[in-house]
């Protein structure tokens, strides 16, 4: 079997690694201003993933978001979908349906997060949303987007669905797993890149339009890794956007205008294809 086809990562599922890779927290206590449809996505083992569908037509008249392009979004390891309500509103005003999905144990999701569960559940989420959108008349193309740790499931969904996924956006993503584990204090010579998701190898096989956004001074996942993903990308239509003077956690605030312009332009091109 091709190593890129696997969905199980036993080395990364070890308790000592899962405990530093994932920081699950509940959405309890968050103010709920509405404006979205709550999703409950069944996954293997009886767990349920929480997600939110933020339609571009919300509050603007029924049906206005039905032809809009869609973004399925996987967030970073310390975030939950509720953190993205404000950004979702911005994307909606740009004519984009925004669909963030949590990992197990995060937000309103049940279960316990592991690397294998995250990767398998991403496929389940994509499989759930495809008919869900179609049945509700949302016929626009779907791009997949991942931030930080979420770059792994986003890349995997794009890799496994080469015809259906219309585009790929990676923000603050990693090309190799070992530097990320090292930053988190995991230095085990028995762990190799082959134990990880092989992001740089997968992106070589993704031919759809690709946008990579990375902060110049990212202290968690270096800008060099964003460059590696860009250079490895197999897309003939790819772009690397560097956000100057920004780090891992202030990339959006520091580069909001350029960030949003890039996403808007990218999704407009995807929608025209």
Q: Is 198's pLDDT higher than 60? A: yes
Q: What is the pLDDT of residues 125-163, one digit of tens each?
A: 999 999 999 999 999 999 999 999 999 999 999 999 999
User: What percent of the chain clears pLDDT 70, i.e. is strictly above it?
Assistant: 97
pLDDT on residue 59: 41
Give the structural domain span for 128. 3-26+35-57+65-272
Burial class (CB in 10 A: 0-12, 13-18, 19+), 61: exposed
214 — pLDDT class (breaks 50, 70, 90): very high
**pLDDT number for residue 140:** 95
Q: Which residues of 124-139 are buried (b: 16+ CB within 10 A; e: fewer)?
A: bbbebbeeebeeeebe
pLDDT of amino acid 57: 73
Mean pLDDT calculated for residue range 113-131: 98
- Residue range 96-117: average pLDDT? 98
Question: What percentage of the chain reaches a pLDDT higher than 90?
Answer: 89
Confidence (pLDDT) at 161: 97
pLDDT at 273: 77
199: pLDDT confidence band, cut at 50, 70 and 90? very high
The tally of CA atoms less than 13 A away on the side-chain side of residue 168 is 38
The model's confidence at residue 31, banded by pLDDT at 50, 70 and 90, is confident
Q: What is the pTM of this model?
A: 0.96
DSSP state of 105: T
Closest alpha carbon to 137 in 70, 40, 39: 70
For the ranges 62-71, 227-236, 253-262, which has the lowest average pLDDT?
62-71
Q: Are 235 and 210 in contact (CB under 8 A)?
A: yes
Identify the pLDDT of residue 60: 40
Classify residue 59 as exposed, middle or buried by CB count within 10 Å of its CB (0-12, 13-18, 19+). Answer: exposed
What are 43-96's pLDDT values in tens digits? Answer: 999 999 999 999 997 544 334 567 899 999 999 999 999 999 999 999 999 999
Beta strand extents in the chain (DSSP E only): 37-42, 48-53, 70-74, 97-101, 142-147, 165-171, 210-215, 238-243
Asked whether the beta carbons of 140 and 69 are under 8 A apart, the reply is yes
Domain count, the chain: 1
- Give the CATH number for residue 107: 3.40.50.1820
Weakest mean pLDDT among 1-10, 11-20, 133-142: 1-10
Share of the chain residues as helix, strand and coil, in percent rounded to the nearest 5: 40, 20, 45
pLDDT-derived band at 3, boundaries 50, 70, 90: confident
What's the confidence (pLDDT) of residue 65? 67
Mean pLDDT taken over the chain:
94
- How distant is the alpha carbon of residue 6 from its chain centre? 19
Note whether 96 and 70 are within 8 A (CB).
yes
């Amino acid at each position: 079997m091709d190593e890129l086809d696997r969905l199980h990562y036993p080395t990364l599922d070890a308790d000592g690694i899962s405990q530093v890779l994932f920081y699950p927290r509940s959405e309890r206590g968050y103010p709920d201003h509405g404006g979205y449809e709550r999703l409950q996505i069944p996954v293997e083992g009886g767990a349920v993933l929480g997600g939110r569908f933020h339609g571009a037509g919300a509050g603007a008249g029924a049906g206005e978001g039905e032809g809009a392009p869609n973004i399925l979004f996987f967030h970073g390891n310390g975030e939950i979908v509720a953190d993205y309500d404000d950004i979702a509103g911005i994307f909606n005003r740009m004519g984009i349906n925004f669909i963030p999905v949590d990992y197990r144990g995060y937000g309103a999701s049940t279960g316990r997060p592991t690397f294998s569960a995250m990767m398998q559940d991403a496929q389940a989420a994509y499989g759930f949303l495809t008919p869900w959108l179609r049945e509700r008349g949302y016929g626009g193309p779907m791009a997949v987007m991942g931030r930080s740790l979420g770059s792994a499931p986003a890349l995997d969904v794009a890799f496994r669905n080469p015809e259906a996924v219309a585009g790929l956006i990676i923000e603050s993503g990693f090309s190799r797993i070992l530097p990320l584990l090292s930053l988190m204090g995991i230095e085990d010579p028995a762990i190799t890149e082959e134990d990880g998701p092989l992001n740089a190898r997968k992106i070589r096989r993704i031919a759809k339009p690709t946008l990579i956004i990375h902060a110049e001074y990212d202290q968690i996942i270096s800008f060099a890794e964003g460059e590696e993903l860009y250079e490895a990308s197999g897309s003939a239509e790819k772009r690397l956007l560097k956000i100057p003077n920004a780090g891992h956690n202030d990339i959006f605030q520091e580069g909001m205008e350029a960030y949003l312009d890039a996403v808007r332009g990218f999704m407009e091109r995807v929608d025209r294809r």
